[in-house]
Structures are given as structure tokens and as C-alpha cells.
Amino acid sequence: MLGYTLMALSQHFFINEFVMKRNTIALSLLLGLSSVSYTQAQTKSCITVDGVRIVDLNKDGKLQPYEDIRLPDSKRTADLMSRLTIDEKIDLVMGTGMKGFEGLIQGMVVGGTEYLVPGAAGTTFPLEKYGIPAIVMTDGPAGVRISPTRKNTSDTFYATGFPVGTLLASTWDTKLIERVGEALGNEVLEYGSDIQLAPALNIMRNPLCGRNYEYYSEDPVVSGKIAVAMTNGIQANGSGVSLKHYAANNSEKNRMDLNVHVSQRALREIYLRGFEIAVKESNPATIMSSYNKINGKYTFADYDLLTTILRDEWGFRGLVMTDWFGGYSDALKALQNKTVEHNTSQQLKAGNDLLMPGIPAQKQDIIKDLQSGSLTEKDLDICVERILNMIFASNTMRGYKFSNKPDLKAHALVARQVAAEGMVLLENNRVLPLASNVNKLAVFGSLSYSFIAGGTGSGDVNKAYVISLTEGLTNAGYVIDQKLSNLYVPFVEKETARVKEQMKSNPLALVPLMPQPQLKESLIRESAVNNDLAIITIGRSSGEMDDRKIEDDFYLTKEEQDLIEKVSTQYHALGKKVVVVINVGGQVETESWKGKTDALLQAWLPGQEGGNAVADILTGKVNPSGKLTMTFPVRYEDVSSADNFQGLPADKPTDVMYKEGVYVGYRYFDSFGVKPAYEFGYGLSYTKFDYSNIRLNDRDFDKELYVSIDIKNSGSVAGKEVVQLYLSAPQGSIDKPVKELKAFAKTKLLQPGEAQTLVFRITPKDLASFNEQQSAWIADKGVYRVEVGASSQKIKHTEAFSLSSTSVVERVNNVMDKIVEFNDMRR
């Protein structure tokens, strides 16, 4: 009743701003309310009662249906669309990196939204005539990337630098990841953004992909489930996410003109499956299409990818946007009004609703195609409707007053917790946790003094600080060798300054590897005498635009190998231990040197609290519980895509064949008997866990099946265990991997002697493989083996059940087939 009273009074009394303000006071007195207020934002006026936005009004005081917040968003959208001109509709499908398009012609994109949220990636186009605001979008997967300082204020606007995707996924803890998402989403909300351009869940097809650090796993189930948790956490704040990069964006070199040739089966089972899980289980607000082609068609202009599969088969109802300047084989030339390959109208008709950030050439394309009839207004309306639905659902449209004051201290604690829980202990020769008599530490490696918190490009975050390893150890009460510190600190400061100056001319350039200072053996020997233990950090950064290299990247440099050799020799001669911390977003080769060390900790790129989190692990404050979500190969050549990773021609690849098919990561290593350095799912703990009492609720599969197992902490300290369920299917009519992950769970913190029962659900689709001849997911009849264990190769218990007859689990459309014939790898 109150809403209707306010509506009637507003329509009758509120004629202009002065009268609106005056009658708001009268209304407050009339209704006995103490918190009725009038506000005006952009060109839209509104009344708020008890903090709830009740009514929007135009300047003339007349309320239209699209302004009536009591109506469903769908009706408001339909009403507004009936009023829009064709030019206004064109404006809506064109995003912007700033107010207007002038700056884009000059090449300015990210950081151009100064009039709303400085440093944001872009916005939608505002329709001020209707009071439709610009919706702000911010990068990225590791935090809200905005400008940390602004003109005319001494306030700062730093965001929390959370750990990168590889670390987050290595927790295998969906509840914890949802908490991270909630914290990140709160910063999205309080800094005035509406859409966070995350999570990123492309498959780690090869260790060298430059953006693997942003991604979650080589396995689609892990990728999908972690993306679900992150999406649910962020969107709990009313903000939206943008799942990216859809799809098969698995390398960076020449990414805007790369044609990925992949079989339907590999596409469905490996590269689309994680997105399918995320869409069906978390309802993401938006999805970002990738730059590349799949089987001859650009993803952002592929109707079958964006509509047939995404919307018709999976039921996605949100908005699809391009990646920035997606739609052009060469964006720089497009900005300079040079002729390059593009397909603006095809994108819109395919289901790519929003062109980001939108450039004048695209607008001219749309106008020309509307005039020729190759694009219809109905095509445009479909995209506009989805954009308006997103806008009406946004916090900005709801009138949320953001504070610019998120609780960064609380979020830093979350960042520290998840960083420690995602680190993976690879080796431990009775050295960790550090004994109580270890106090003096010799810390080697340039990056010990300047920890890499995250990657470059859109995955970077402007954070207030980064805790280095030496700072974290000092905070934990250890004494750091001062002679070494006096040598490393000025060297690192000089190198950091040099790189910053070098990158001013190209902010998107990859950060070069930090060199090591020359250390005299006498200094190393002296440190071994004077200290209790040595710690060495090996690190790498990576990012957009290019991929990692094999030599001096996947493999350690000669100076890094020499450092490990010299330090280990001197310390072991005195019976002292050496710990190596790997500060890298993905895999590095370890087989040739790990035997020279006593403990090996994969710390990933752990965010701003990285040094503290490493110290938490080393001291035993946190018992390591992270496990690998990708396989560490002994040699690069052992990877199934080693000889066809980036494609051909090598200098500027335009075509890449995914000939390994479904045999990506552990599916290849386990099925072909290739020994890894560390297998998928591997990770050590300071305690031990017993697996017992595996049970199936039935021996014959019918619709679903439940598997339970008891996990007991049989060690002496509290800890958590990641439990993985694999399924081995009968071969049937198509070749299959020896086993595939179907479910996982992480225990609570189990005290010594404490046990927990975990229950897993197996669905018909878990049994199925994609059969290209039938365009269907088929579950073959026969015996299925359930394998529950601590990694893909440490299976603790097995059981079996039967499927009495071959079943068609799901029929799908026969789309996105190969255009070049090649055979997928087979066992």
C-alpha cells in the first residue's frame, strides 16, 4: 500500500526538482516516516523510503512503465524498447571505454572511464534521455582493477590483490572460493562497478600458455566447479560476472587471428564442459567471447557457439559481450581506420550482444548493414533486450550508493587464508614445518625480496602492497641474513626501476625475468655457517599477448640452476637444509634439480599477502592442503600438445590442430603410461589420512548413484584432505581415457584421530562420452569402476557398478564440426 501511495503522490505532486524536494518532506510527515529522501543521479530523480528505492521520475514528473520499479524487469525492458529509436539501439550495442568515442580513435581504452570509475575497463552506453545509466565493467580474475589514485583527492582506491586462478583452484575448496568471490564482489559493489570481468576458466592445454595463471585447471570439472563457486560469491553482492574466454582460447600468440581446429568430441568434453557446468549451476550475468576462431569461424560471430549451444542447449539467458576489440583480426589497424577482417553484423546476429569497447567503424558497419537489409532491426532488438535486462538488474540502476570504502583489511585476511590453502607442498625431506630451533634464515633469489603477486594485463590489480617472502618471514619472527639482504635489496630495486621504465612505452609487454646478482661462493659459505637454513625463491611472471618459452622459463635458467647447486652444496656440507619456493603461475621443470633440495613449495602467484601465506606454511601455522589441478611433466616433450601448441607458421600462427583430442593433462599421462614429475591431484601434508569404508548405494546404475567414503586424520596434527573421485568407463564404441575425474570434495579441518564421511553423487552425464556419429552423450553398457583417491595416481579404494544397457543421456545439435580432416589421438 505504501508503494502505491508514494506512486500516486509522486505522479500528482512532484513536478520539478524544487517541488520534488519540498513534497518529499511533506510526504515524510504525512506518512510518519523518518527516512524518506529525494535524490537525483545523472538525469534521473528518485524517492527512497527506509533505504529502498521506491520510484523513479523524469524531470517532467511523469512516470512511464519502464520507470516503474514495481513491474518485472522484462516488462520495463519491453516498454523502453518500444520507445527507442534505431540510433539509440545502435548506441546500446556499442560499449565504450569512456564517455563518448573520441578517445578510442586515439587508441585509449582501459582507464578511460574517468567520469565514472577511473581505471575501469569500460561501460555500456548511457541513454540520458531515459535516465538509463552507463553500466561499469572492471577487470579481472584476481581483483578489481581500477586506478588507485584520483585527481583532486588524497584518498586512495586500492583493491585487494587476491591469488591467481591456479592457486584458487588448487584449494579444491568451493566454499572457500565462494568466500573469496563474496569479498571480491563486495569491492566490485563498493567501488561502483556492475560487472566483474571474471572468472576465467579456459583449459590449461599446455604449460606454456601465457594466461594459464588466470585459469583453473587442465580438467573441465575442476574448472567448472571452481567457476561456479566464484560466480556465486561475486553475484551474491548483486554484481554480475563475465565468464571468459568462451571458448578454446588456450594460447596467446596471435590470438586475434588464430584458427583452432578441434574435433566435436574434444570441444564438447574438454573445452566447453567447464563453461557448461558454470552456466547451468551458477547463472552468470554475462559471458565474454574469445578472440580466436574455432573450426574456421570467429567465436564472437559463431551462431552455433553463442546461440545453438550456449542458449538453446544450456539455457543461458544472460548477455554475451566481446573481449576488448574482439571482432577484428588486427584491432590497432581498425582503430586507425585501416581495412582489416571484421564482421560486426555477424556478431550481433550470432548472439554477441555487446561490442566492447565499441569503435566508430563498427557503428558505420551496423548502419550500412541495416540499410542494405543484411542486418534487421529485429536482430538488433534481440541484443538490445539482453543489454537492457542486464542494466535493469544492475546495482547502478537500483540506485545503490557505493562507498568507495570496502573493508580491505578483512579482505586481506581472506586473501591470506586462501593463499596458504592453495599452496602445494611438492617435496618435504623432514624439514617442514620448520623446527623450533630454526631462527636464522639465509634467503636467496631476487624474487624472495620482490614476490610476484599476480600476472600482467587484465589479470593485474592495483593493490596497496605486496608482502615479499622476506617480509613474511620477518613478520613470523625469523631473522634474515643481513649481508645477503644488503646485496639483494639494492639489486632488486635497481632492476625493478629499470623494468618499470622499460614498460612505460608498452604497458602490455610481458615482464622480463628478474636476473640474479652474482654471489661469491665465500659469501654463500659464510651464510651457511651463520644461518640455520636456506630458502631460495624461483619465480616467473606471464600475461597477455604472448606465451611462455620452453628455455629459460619452463626450464630454469643456468644462473638459477647454478644458484640451487651452489647453495645446496654449501648447506648440505654442514648438514643444513635447503627449501625452494616456486613463485610461478604454472608449471616449471623440477626433475633435474629437485633432488638437490630438501623441500619444494609451489606458492604460485599468491596475491598481496603471499609472503605471509608462505610463512604460515613454513612455520606450520597452516598445514598445507593444496593439490595440483594440472600435471607437472618431467620434460616439456612429455606433454601431449608439445609439438602442436601454438600452431603454424611458428612466427605468427594462424592455424593450430588439437590432435591430442581429449587426451589433455592427466587423461594423457595416465592413459599412455607417461611418468609425470607430479601427477594431477598431487600434494603433500604435514599429517596422514586413512581412506576406508567405501560404499555404493547400489550396484546397478539407475538415474543416479551415491558413493561414500570415510576419511580419518591418522597423523599428529590437524589438517584437511582433498578427496577425488574418478570413473573408469567401459570402452564401448569409442576410445576413452583410462579414468576421468567426476567429483571432488575437501574435508573440514580434521583433528588427529577425527574422521569425516564424504558423499559423492554420480549422474548419467558422468557416465557418458560424446559420440560424434550420433551427436549425443552416450553412456555405454558394462561395468564402471569407481576410484577414490588422493590424486589421479594415488587411488586408495575402488568399487564397481553396472549399467545394463547403453543409454543416450543427451542428444545435442550436430554443429561446429572440423573443417580440416585429422584424426584425434587414440589409446
User: Shortest CA distance to 248 belongs to which of 267, 265, 227?
Assistant: 267
Name the 3-class secondary structure at 27.
helix
Beta partners for 107?
Answer: none
| 621's grid cell | 601455522
Query: How far is Cα 726 from Cα 526, in angstroms, rounded to an integer?
Result: 51
Beta partners for 510?
Answer: none
| 472's grid cell | 613474511
Report yes or no: 642 and 556 within 8 Å, Cβ to Cβ: no
Q: ∠ CA(210), CA(214), CA(219), 5° rounding?
A: 95
Query: How far is Cα 349 from Cα 302, in angstroms, rounded to an integer?
Result: 9
User: Shortest CA distance to 685 belongs to which of 643, 728, 716?
Assistant: 716
Name the 3-class secondary structure at 384.
helix
Query: How far is Cα 452 from Cα 649, in angstroms, rounded to an integer?
Result: 33
Name the 3-class secondary structure at 131.
coil
Cα maximum dimension of the chain? 90
Q: Which helix (H) or strand (E) holds 96?
A: none
Count of alpha carbons within 13 angstroms of residue 691, beta-carbon side: 21
- Round the CA-based radius of gyration of the chain to a whole number and report it: 28
* Crossing angle (nearest 10°) for helices 174-190 and 220-235: 40
| 143's grid cell | 581483483
Q: ∠ CA(202), CA(204), CA(205), 5° rounding?
A: 110
| 321's grid cell | 559481450
Question: Which 8-state DSSP code applies to residue 374?
Answer: S
For the chain, first and last CA: distance in Å? 69
Query: How far is Cα 705 from Cα 762, in angstroms, rounded to an integer?
Result: 5
Q: Determine how many CB atoms are found less than 10 A away from the CB of residue 651.
A: 7
Query: How far is Cα 265 from Cα 482, in angstroms, rounded to an integer?
Result: 58
Beta strands in 279-337 (DSSP E): 286-289, 293-294, 297-298, 319-321
User: Shortest CA distance to 289 belongs to which of 321, 256, 254?
Assistant: 321
Assess whether 323 carries a catalytic annotation: yes
Q: Which of 323, 553, 766, 824 is catalytic?
A: 323
Strands 286-289 and 319-321: parallel
Q: What residues have CB less than 8 Å from 333, skipping those under 6 apart?
A: 339, 340
Give CA separation, 130 vs 56, 64, 71, 93, 96, in Å.
Answer: 11, 10, 17, 16, 18
User: Shortest CA distance to 288 belongs to which of 379, 415, 201, 409?
Assistant: 201
Residue 160 identity: T
| 294's grid cell | 574455432
Report yes or no: 349 and 303 within 8 Å, Cβ to Cβ: yes
Q: ∠ CA(122), CA(123), CA(126), 5° rounding?
A: 150
Report yes or no: 294 and 305 within 8 Å, Cβ to Cβ: yes
Question: Which 8-state DSSP code applies to residue 293?
Answer: E
Which sequence positions are flagged as catalytic? 323
